[in-house]
Structure 1
Amino acid sequence: MRRYNLIEPGFVDDETDPDGYKTAYDRIGPKVGGDKLGATHYLIRPGQHLCPYHYEYAEEEWLLVLEGRPSVRHPGGTDELREGDIVAFVEGPDGAHQVSNFSDADARVLMWANLSDTGAVVYPDSDKISINPKDRRDHIIVQRSAAVDYWDGER
């Protein structure tokens, strides 16, 4: 049996994250051998966002607050969460969310979701859509406003 300990995470910083989105993470799924659910333990520093405002197609995400007081922006506004709170972000526009830390102390959250071979993520603030197939050669992020007709360019 493989295990992961939430008390002793192995956080990694992604040096490519821009200012405002500098968080640390520890991917749990590969460490415990899971292949149907993905889970990540995040450390969100004060004044940072975990991600841009977005919603998913093909995945439902859940969040558990382990430490601190992160805030979640959602279609109905912004709510501050506290340790022990669990929220779900359903598939589609009703599940739109952005997790942030507006407090002056670190926040730790656990997020998990079903894994999908192909999904799409919509970023309403920047009018982008990301198509995420299992075969990363076809991964793309484009402006939704650049949409074309189905027959455009076909012969």
Structure 2
Amino acid sequence: MGIAHESDLDWTEMDREETKFKRKQLGEAADSEQLGCSLYELPADSKSWPYHYHTANEEALYVLYGTGTLRLDGETHDFSAGDYVALPADESGAHRVINDSEEPLRYLAFSTMNEPDVTMYPDSEKLGAFVGSPPGGRGGRKLTKYYNLDDDVDYWDGE
């Protein structure tokens, strides 16, 4: 275990469709094994990862500054500095952070680091399967696959 100072870390950036944010992986930088922590910054009029929930990992969010909206379990809530939300590893933890303000929104995201994990994406009716490294983990993944929920094959070939 170590100490990581966020100013020593470079931002990674995501800019894809309506998803746009910067991220610093604090947990990884401090060699955390069982608890992940990332610092996120969403610019004005942007959104975090698509609406989702994990089946193996609990998450939590804490807003450091700014205002926005949290889509949580199908409902929307105001989300601002000082707010903390626990996100269970089930459908009730489905979430997405939306910065609908004119200023940046900065928050911490914490998670357990269990693998394998299946992440559900209710809006797109997909699931993601991840094996070999937990969400936000350093290790190489043996499997990262996405499937439509209505995809189905037989257990036995040819039947």
Q: Determine if the TM-score, normalized by the shorter chain, exceeds 0.5.
A: yes
Structure 1 position 143 matched with structure 2 position 141: no
Unaligned runs of 5+ in 2: 133-139
Alignment-derived partner of residue 119 in structure 1: 117
> What are the superposed Cα offsets for residues 2-29 of structure 1, whole Å, 9 maximum, x if unpaired?
32345x37352435x3142120000011
State the one-letter code of the partner of 1:92. D
State the one-letter code of the partner of 1:111. A
State the one-letter code of the partner of 1:47. D
Alignment-derived partner of residue 14 in structure 1: 13
Partner of 1:125, secondary structure, is coil
Alignment-derived partner of residue 136 in structure 2: none
Cα distance in 2 for residues equivalent to 1:97 and 1:108:
16
Offset of residue 147 of structure 1: 1.9
Partner of 1:30, secondary structure, is helix
The number of aligned residues is 152
Structure 1: which 4+ aligned runs deviate by more than 6 Å?
none
Identical aligned residues as a percent: 28
Unaligned runs of 5+ in 1: none
Residues 74 and 96 of structure 1 are in contact (CA less than 8 Å); yes or no, is this contact kept in structure 2? yes
Residues 57 and 114 of structure 2 are in contact (CA less than 8 Å); yes or no, is this contact kept in structure 1? yes
**1:79-90 alignment runs, 5 A limit:** 79-90=77-88
Cα distance in 2 for residues equivalent to 1:31 and 1:77:
34
Partner of 2:67, secondary structure, is coil
Alignment-derived partner of residue 131 in structure 1: 129
**1:48-67 alignment runs, 5 A limit:** 48-67=46-65
Residues 23 and 40 of structure 2 are in contact (CA less than 8 Å); yes or no, is this contact kept in structure 1? yes
Aligned pair in 2 of structure 1 residues 76, 20: CA closer, same or farther (>3 Å)? closer
Between Structure 1 and Structure 2, the one with more strand by share is: 2
Residues 11 and 24 of structure 1 are in contact (CA less than 8 Å); yes or no, is this contact kept in structure 2? no
Task: Name the TM-score, length of structure 1 as normaliser.
Answer: 0.89
Offset of residue 75 of structure 1: 1.9
Cα distance in 2 for residues equivalent to 1:126 and 1:19:
14
Aligned pair in 2 of structure 1 residues 77, 70: CA closer, same or farther (>3 Å)? same
RMSD of Structure 2 on Structure 1 (CA) = 1.9
Task: Name the TM-score, length of structure 2 as normaliser.
Answer: 0.87
